[in-house]
Structure 1
Amino acid sequence: MKPIKSILLTSIIISQLGCSSSKQTGTSKNISSYSNKKIEVYTTAENSNLKLSLSNNLILNESSTDSPTVFIEIDKAKTFQTFLGIGGAITDASAEVFAKLPAKKQQEFLTAYYDKNKGIGYSLARTNIHSCDFSSESYTYISEGDKDLKTFNIDHDRKFRIPLLKKAIQNAGGKLTLFVSPWSPPAFMKSNNDILHGGVLLPEFAQSWANYYARFIKEYEKEGIPIWGLTIQNEPMATQRWESCIYTPEAERDFLKNFLGPTLEKEGLSSKNVIIWDHNRGDMLEKRAQLVFSDPDVSKYAWGIGFHWYETWNGGTPKFESVGWVHENFPNKNLIFTEGCIEKFDSNKYQFWGNAERYGINMINDFNNGTVGWTDWNILLDQNGGPNHVGNFCFAPIHADTNSGELIYTPMYYYIGHFSKFIRPDAKRIKETVSNDKLLSTSFKNTDGKIATIVMNQSEKNVIYTITFDSQKHTISIPAHAMQTLVY
């Protein structure tokens, strides 16, 4: 399938102007006037030109003969977690690709992600502490062996990553909730004397490594880039061919308790939010939470726990129940999705709808199990799914063809946008009841009083459903393989 290149955000802009079309729906005989409605419907659907498009023509009038098969009831009086934000990682790879784009395309890209009116309004971001696999090379901020950090500098990041971070913050309205993650300590601090291939942090360098986090945060904030929080270690149970480091549950607990937590306090950084785990859902998510959050001496340093979606690598199913277990057992701690992407890049699958549906399934279920924030992996990659210095090429919601300078928008971008554009920071998730599993759904109430209900149809057929709220009832058609956001 040919990629859709250089899609201007016309559908989103049209949405803001209140325009809609009935041509693709096949329900024109049931179209009702929107003039007396108090609900807006935005739709993205496979095999159509609906891309976050205002589509109130999918609201059926009272004379419709189509009977709903799903019923969604909203109870806005019952609230749950407070929403932190949705966004993606600004890696070296993303920044290097961005720098190769023409100025006009750079601004289109920034608007597409960070403008909440013309784009999808990202409000959350992650970035790496020195190199990760999505860097063109391995590097650190110090000379090898410098345990006192006398040579520490972030000059490497000033070329590509820091300029992109600053532009992202500017285009997000001046505020972007940013957390940072290390993939590995420098080689000399590790048991295998290698920044790659796992290994563990040597005890004699634990304080030096804790100081490294604090120094990084302070140097970035000197650049005018506020750091909201940090994870202790990306994927601490995975020995990878790229930057990686192993922490047992006890090792992570003790590093936070005895070194990182006290160091952040000493350096005046106690307001930074520390996230433990930063690896997959499943039993280990529960065990890490239990170990840290049940110990008041270490729990006081931990804002919450982060997780990825790669537990399905061996053919298993997503472990959403583990997220729910942590939320139920530690309601005063926070859950945040810190990374997910479509692995194994294939340029023939830019427009593969199943990739977008994977995002929809995960986001809805994570939010319904208590997650407060959701972070995609790279915001931008090139036409090869990189750069990546070990060949671990992946998908991003937007790719750039660095030969032509064109942007390629995938369906993932639009599916994420159904959440990030309409659920804003500090929103509260509210109770909803869905009559059966033909549709997936989640609902949030924003601080301005508006509610956003996200509805997803994975089936091969249109589904007619009814949503009830505030003594109102609306019957709506959602196309096959589609996502909708209802705003009311």
Structure 2
Amino acid sequence: MSGSVLRRLVFLVVATRECSALVGRTSLPSARISVDTSITYQEVDGLGASQAFQRAEDVLGKYGLSPAHQAEVLDLLYSLDKGAGFAILRNGIGSSNSSTSNLMNSIEPLSPGSPHTQPNYTWDGYDSGQFPLAQQAEARGLRTLYGNAWSAPGYMKTNDDENNGGYLCGVAGEHCVSGDWKQAYADYLVQWVKFYEEHGAKVSHLGFLNEPQFAATYAGMLSNGTQAADFIRVLAKTIQKARLDLAITCCDGIGWDDQEAMMAGLQAGPDPAEQYLTVVTGHGYDSAPTYPLSTTKKTWLSEWADLDGDYTPGVFYDVDGPGEGLRWARNVQAAFVQANVSGFLYWIGAENSTTNSALINLLGDEIVPSKRFWSLAQFSKFARPGARRVEAHSSASLLYASAFRNTDGTIATQVINNATTAYAVTLAVAVEGGGGKLHSNCVVPYLTDNAHNLTALAPVVLARDGTFQTTVPARSLVTFVSS
């Protein structure tokens, strides 16, 4: 026996000891998942959520969460080692002159009298709990802090109210007796960013609208694409003058179709506002992200949640309800694969409630991570910022696949089994620049279903033909991580 053959035999024996099949493969329907890293798509910025409208205070113990459990929730949300490693936090830029109920404080609660009068900014170092939470998140590895205003302060708007719609004074078609407040609003937003940075939290992205098609009873502001473009041009110059390293986003439309409808206005004219944007943002409520927006910029699904369904924290699949984990696994995967998003944000990360509007429910001093949380974690933990989505194809109609190649060379393949039976799966990974195959002889599967939460299973060994033979359980999400 030659030395090279002996070395290969020893390698296979050791690999066989370390690797095993996921589960048995008897009498199961079969499918093939093919991954090709030579075909690349969008760059990943990450997944995340918000703690706006005083939900940050829920995590900081407002309703009895103990210091030890506060740290545990923060670890679950933002630590890569201990939790999901969420990369994006969306903080609300307040417009209220009080903090009653769940209102978010303004840094300029009282009108200076006119848009040309010296503003009187105030900073409490707390920002409805969002500032200390952002610091805790950044200490755990947060990559992106997104400051997003739901509304300008009421005195800057046509209806003189932060609530119930209204437009920013001075944008196309909207005039106020008090004057044009576009520059004052841009200064206001930039000052909020400066307060954060001066006190130790780096803001990377800035947005100025939230669901501008909807005149909500809470903070909000109406706008079409042309009106948003008017303000973006002012904001871009203001940021440049302040010498801030700050990306502009727009416009957090209430649905993907609503955001698409705003694109023409952002792209019109000799000085198109789109050129000043880094990310185009949209929500999933009125319409889901199932196609790419008409832009060359990165896109984020920046808010979506189950706001109306029954409380289903521990259900991955039962009746395919709106709050179930399998539904949200499909939502995330479709957003990345069909809409080419670079970021995906659920509405709230954690809050004290028994609803599905959060990923983690806090009940006094009890922590209840939902299956939605574990579904998002299976993407966030293994498709890291800077990763590229790569080609992934499934031969079975009820097996949905996505794949991402990280900057460290690891490849994460998510397989969603939407069927009522397990599948015997052949996973084939073709690697660009790696001799056409993986350097590792194993992939490690992580499983979430009704009985498992991001559970690491026994590694799966490379077959002689260079593929991995494994089983994906019924109604489950499995992420295969390889190097």
TM-score by length of 1: 0.79
Alignment partner, residue 283 of structure 2: 308
- Taking the aligned partners of 1:416 and 1:130, their CA distance within structure 2 comes to 27
How far is 1:480 from its partner?
2.1
2:151/2:208 contact within 8 Å kept = no
- Taking the aligned partners of 1:281 and 1:91, their CA distance within structure 2 comes to 19
2:214/2:254 contact within 8 Å kept = no
- Taking the aligned partners of 1:231 and 1:401, their CA distance within structure 2 comes to 32
Q: 1:36 aligns with which of 1, 12, 15?
A: 15
Please report the RMSD computed on the Cα atoms of aligned residues, expressed in angstroms.
Answer: 2.6
Alignment partner, residue 360 of structure 2: 398
Higher helix share: 1
Which letter maps to 1:480? A
Q: 1:125 aligns with which of 89, 94, 105?
A: 89
Q: 2:36 aligns with which of 75, 88, 107?
A: 75
- Taking the aligned partners of 1:275 and 1:197, their CA distance within structure 2 comes to 23
How far is 1:285 from its partner?
2.6
* 1:235 counterpart SS class: coil
Q: 1:270-297: per-residue Cα shift (whole Å, max 9, x none)? A: x311111211444433332343246562
**Structure 1 residues 183 and 420 mapped into 2: Cα distance closer, same or farther (>3 Å)?**
same
How far is 1:235 from its partner?
0.7
Q: 1:267 aligns with which of 229, 233, 242?
A: 242
Instruction: Tell whether 2:104 aligns with 1:143.
Output: no
Q: 1:350 aligns with which of 313, 335, 351?
A: 313
Aligned residues: 412
Which letter maps to 1:229? H
2:150/2:221 contact within 8 Å kept = yes
Which letter maps to 2:135? K
Which letter maps to 1:396? A
* 1:311 counterpart SS class: coil
Q: 1:114 aligns with which of 78, 81, 106?
A: 78
% of aligned pairs identical? 25
**Structure 1 residues 169 and 406 mapped into 2: Cα distance closer, same or farther (>3 Å)?**
same
* 2:420 counterpart SS class: coil
**Structure 1 residues 93 and 143 mapped into 2: Cα distance closer, same or farther (>3 Å)?**
closer
How far is 1:396 from its partner?
0.7
**Structure 1 residues 34 and 295 mapped into 2: Cα distance closer, same or farther (>3 Å)?**
farther
Alignment partner, residue 389 of structure 2: 429
- Taking the aligned partners of 1:166 and 1:115, their CA distance within structure 2 comes to 13
Alignment partner, residue 470 of structure 2: 476
1:350/1:410 contact within 8 Å kept = yes
TM-score by length of 2: 0.79
User: Which runs of structure 1 show a deviation greater than 6 angstroms over 4 or more consecutive aligned residues?
Assistant: 37-40, 132-135
* 1:306 counterpart SS class: strand
- Greater displacement, 273-282 / 448-457: 273-282
How far is 1:346 from its partner?
4.5
1:69/1:465 contact within 8 Å kept = yes
Alignment partner, residue 152 of structure 1: 121
1:311/1:319 contact within 8 Å kept = no
Alignment of 1:311-322 (within 5 A): 311-312=286-287, 318-321=288-291
* 1:91 counterpart SS class: coil
Alignment partner, residue 53 of structure 1: none
Alignment partner, residue 54 of structure 2: 93
Alignment partner, residue 286 of structure 1: 260
- Taking the aligned partners of 2:281 and 2:75, their CA distance within structure 1 comes to 28
1:93/1:380 contact within 8 Å kept = no
* 2:278 counterpart SS class: strand
Q: Which runs of 5+ in 2 are unaligned?
A: 1-11, 171-179, 430-436, 438-464
Alignment partner, residue 442 of structure 2: none
* 2:367 counterpart SS class: strand
Q: 1:348-371: per-residue Cα shift (whole Å, max 9, x none)? A: x22233422232112111111311
Q: 2:157 aligns with which of 182, 186, 190?
A: 190
